[in-house]
């Protein structure tokens, strides 16, 4: 997809600081949401439900089926079927009256307040929500670009990529090698790569016990590290090797043509190479001129862009402060933005913003762990208030209960998104 900055960039950040005060829309106010994922679908449903027809909601999303990244690792591990992580937008349209448009948003005219569609035409808005998730930073892993994703999948957007990676793992020769190139911070789902390694190890332990898993990691440490390392030692001893930056893990390149990975000069012949590159806000944010570096800065109390008060940016794309880039975070931010938008457009009551997040990970059957926190909005950022994390050495019943809790959360968040 091509974005045209000149056509769609809209007004500059400097001009926007002088923009007119918020005006109440004439007639039925229109909210347009770009991206029907954890942030966008939640916000669209929340606004449509709570405004009871007082706000017209349009959701722009190219896919008819959304596969959640959350629980996609469990699909790789054989704990879920692909259809159990697939969702559609039918209920949002039929029961909530949301105008669902299956198309790409190609740009935003911030002066005219319209969103351009790849299929032609433009959708007008009074408030716009962008929740496009992530795109990859070009050149982040030398040798890899999107044209290599069919050979060296990232599986960091769920669906066909996830299925491809699972197929590749299952087709590995006995004693073969799986290499993951892990991303630098900040990225979508901090424990995600390490939960994935656990799930790959779970599959290989049963079907291919002499296989090797190598992680090339540019980060000195990672989310829930003590818990993962304890679990790997306990369940998958000798199978997983992580090469951090102290051993050259940040100096990694790949060669998709011959399926090799070069980690600080040591060339490894691999059977599966799972490249998860460095990430940035979904391209539409950049095309709309709302990014500063890789991410889109927002006002914490409302999730409004710091560059355009008529636009709210949710989830992974936003540069908000302390919250991790997770589905739970995006869902939590969506509720705050939905409340702020209803307040601005209809005068509905607005309460102080509170945010929360929990990230669960499965290490082995019934061995679930979690990390979470609550947050508040300060002038500067979404700031962590307090948090919790599973402990090493927990009893099996505690770990099983943690896993069960994650299943309940999945049902809850997907109902929140899709009705």
Q: What's the closest the beta carbon of residue 67 comes to ligand FAD, in angstroms?
A: 9
Instruction: Kindly state whether residue 61 participates in binding ligand FAD, applying the rule CB under 6 A.
Output: yes
Number of residues that bind ligand FAD (CB under 6 A): 39
> Is 63 near ligand FAD (CB under 6 A)?
yes
Q: Should residue 60 be labelled a site residue for ligand FAD when binding is judged by CB under 6 A? A: yes
Q: Minimum distance between the CB of residue 103 and ligand FAD, rounded to whole angstroms?
A: 7
The alpha helices in 105-180, defined as continuous H runs, are 160-170
**Does the protein bind ligand FAD through residue 105 (CB under 6 A)?**
yes
Give yes or no for residue 66 binding ligand FAD (CB under 6 A).
Answer: yes
Instruction: Phi first, then psi: give them for residue 65, nearest 5 degrees.
Output: -120, 130
Q: Is 120:109 a contact under the CB 8 Å cutoff?
A: no
Shortest distance, position 10 Cβ to ligand FAD, whole Å: 15
Q: How far is the CB of 28 from ligand FAD (least distance, A)?
A: 23
DSSP secondary structure, 337-364, as one string: HHHHHHHHHH----PPPEEEEEEEEEEE
Residue 372 φ/ψ region, left for φ over 0, alpha for ψ in the -120 to 50 degree band, beta for the rest? beta
Query: What is d(CA 298, CA 313) in angstroms, rounded to the nearest whole number?
Result: 7
Q: Which stretch binds ligand FAD (CB under 6 A): 38-46, 119-127, 219-227, 366-374?
A: 38-46
CA pair distance 338, 331, nearest whole angstrom: 10
Q: Is 284 in the site for ligand FAD (CB under 6 A)?
A: yes
Phi and psi at residue 96, in whole multiples of 5°?
A: -115, -5
Minimum CB–partner distance for residue 62 and ligand FAD (Å): 5
Min CB(198)–ligand FAD separation in Å: 12
* Interaction between residue 133 and ligand FAD (CB under 6 A): yes
Whose tokens are 């990014």? That residue is: 291
Site string for ligand FAD, 153-172 (x = CB under 6 A): ---x----------------
Distance CA 297, CA 269 (A): 41
Tell me: does residue 417 bind ligand FAD (CB under 6 A): no
Q: Which of 10, 29, 30, 40 binds ligand FAD (CB under 6 A)?
A: 40
319: enclosing H helix or E strand: strand 318-319
The residues with which 167 forms a beta bridge, in sequence order, are none
Neighbours of 59 (CB within 10 A): 26
**Dihedral (CA of 405, 75, 63, 105) sign:** positive
Among residues 180, 248, 224, 241, which one has the least CA distance to residue 324? 224
Say whether residue 183 binds ligand FAD (CB under 6 A): no
**One of 87, 224, 242, 325 touching ligand FAD (CB under 6 A):** 325
Among 8, 75, 194, 328, binds ligand FAD (CB under 6 A): 328
Q: Minimum Å distance from CB 118 to ligand FAD?
A: 8
Q: Which of 104, 136, 236, 418 binds ligand FAD (CB under 6 A)?
A: 104
The CA distances from residue 99 to 38, 89, 119, in Å, are: 18, 10, 16
Per CB under 6 A, 125 contacts ligand FAD: no
Residue 177, H or E segment: strand 177-181
Q: Which of 46, 58, 72, 390 binds ligand FAD (CB under 6 A)?
A: 72
Is residue 62 within the footprint of ligand FAD (CB under 6 A)? yes
Q: How far is the CB of 108 from ligand FAD (least distance, A)?
A: 10
Q: Measured between alpha carbons, how far is 142 from 36 in angstroms, rounded to an integer?
A: 31
* 39 is a site residue for ligand FAD (CB under 6 A): yes
Q: Is the dihedral of CA 63, 71, 167, 142 positive or negative?
A: positive
34 binds ligand FAD (CB under 6 A): yes
- Sort 259 into a burial class: Cβ within 10 Å, 0-12 / 13-18 / 19+: middle
Show contacts with ligand FAD in window 289-318 (CB under 6 A): 314-317
CB-closest chain residue to ligand FAD: 37
Among 10, 300, 327, 419, binds ligand FAD (CB under 6 A): 327
- 359 neighbors 328 (Cβ within 8 angstroms): yes
Dihedrals φ, ψ of 32, to 5°? -110, 135
Provide the minimum distance between the beta carbon of 85 and ligand FAD in the complex, in angstroms, as a whole number.
10
- Which of residues 55, 128, 141, 189 is near ligand FAD by CB under 6 A? 189
Q: Which of 196, 240, 242 is nearest to 73 (CA)?
A: 196
Instruction: Examine residue 372 and tell whether it contacts ligand FAD (CB under 6 A).
Output: no
φ, ψ of residue 114 in degrees (nearest 5)? -135, 155
Binding site for ligand FAD (CB under 6 A): 34-40, 60-63, 66, 69-70, 72-73, 104-105, 131-133, 156, 188-189, 192, 196, 282, 284, 314-317, 325-328, 330, 359-360
């Amino acid at each position: 997809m091509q974005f045209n900055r000149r056509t769609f960039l809209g007004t500059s950040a400097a001009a926007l600081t002088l923009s007119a005060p918020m005006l109440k829309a004439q007639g039925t106010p229109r909210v347009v949401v770009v991206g029907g994922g954890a942030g966008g679908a939640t916000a669209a449903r929340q606004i449509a439900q709570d405004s009871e027809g007082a706000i017209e909601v349009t959701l722009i999303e190219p896919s008819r089926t959304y596969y959640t990244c959350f629980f996609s690792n469990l699909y790789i591990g054989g704990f879920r079927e692909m259809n159990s992580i697939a969702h559609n937008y039918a209920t949002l349209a039929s029961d909530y009256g949301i105008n669902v448009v299956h198309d790409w948003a190609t740009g935003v005219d911030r002066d005219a307040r319209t969103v351009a569609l790849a299929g032609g035409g433009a959708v007008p808005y009074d408030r716009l929500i962008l929740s496009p998730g992530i795109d990859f930073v070009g050149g982040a892993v030398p040798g890899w670009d999107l044209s290599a994703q069919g050979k060296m999948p990232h599986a960091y957007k769920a669906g066909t990529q996830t299925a491809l990676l699972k197929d590749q793992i299952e087709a590995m020769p006995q004693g073969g090698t799986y290499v993951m190139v892990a991303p630098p911070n900040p990225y979508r789902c901090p424990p995600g790569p390490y939960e994935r390694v656990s799930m790959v190890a779970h599959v290989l332990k049963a079907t291919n016990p002499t296989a090797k898993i190598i992680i090339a990691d540019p980060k000195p440490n990672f989310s829930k590290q003590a818990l993962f390392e304890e679990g790997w030692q306990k369940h998958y001893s000798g199978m997983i090797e992580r090469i951090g930056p102290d051993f050259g893990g940040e100096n990694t390149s790949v060669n998709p043509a011959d399926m090799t990975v070069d980690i600080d000069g040591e060339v490894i012949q691999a059977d599966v190479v799972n490249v998860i590159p460095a990430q940035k806000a979904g391209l539409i944010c950049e095309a709309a001129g709302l990014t500063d570096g890789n991410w889109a800065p927002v006002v914490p109390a409302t999730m409004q862009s710091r560059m355009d008060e008529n636009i709210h940016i949710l989830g992974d794309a936003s540069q908000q402060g302390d919250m991790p880039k997770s589905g739970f975070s995006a869902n939590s931010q969506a509720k705050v933005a939905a409340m702020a938008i209803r307040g601005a457009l209809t005068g509905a009551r607005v309460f102080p913003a509170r945010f929360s997040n929990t990230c669960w990970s499965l290490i082995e059957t019934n061995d679930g762990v979690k990390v979470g926190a609550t947050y508040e909005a300060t002038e500067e950022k979404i700031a962590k208030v307090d948090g919790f994390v599973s402990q090493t050495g927990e009893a099996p019943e505690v770990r099983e209960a943690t896993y069960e809790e994650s299943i309940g959360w999945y049902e809850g968040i997907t109902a929140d998104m899709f009705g």
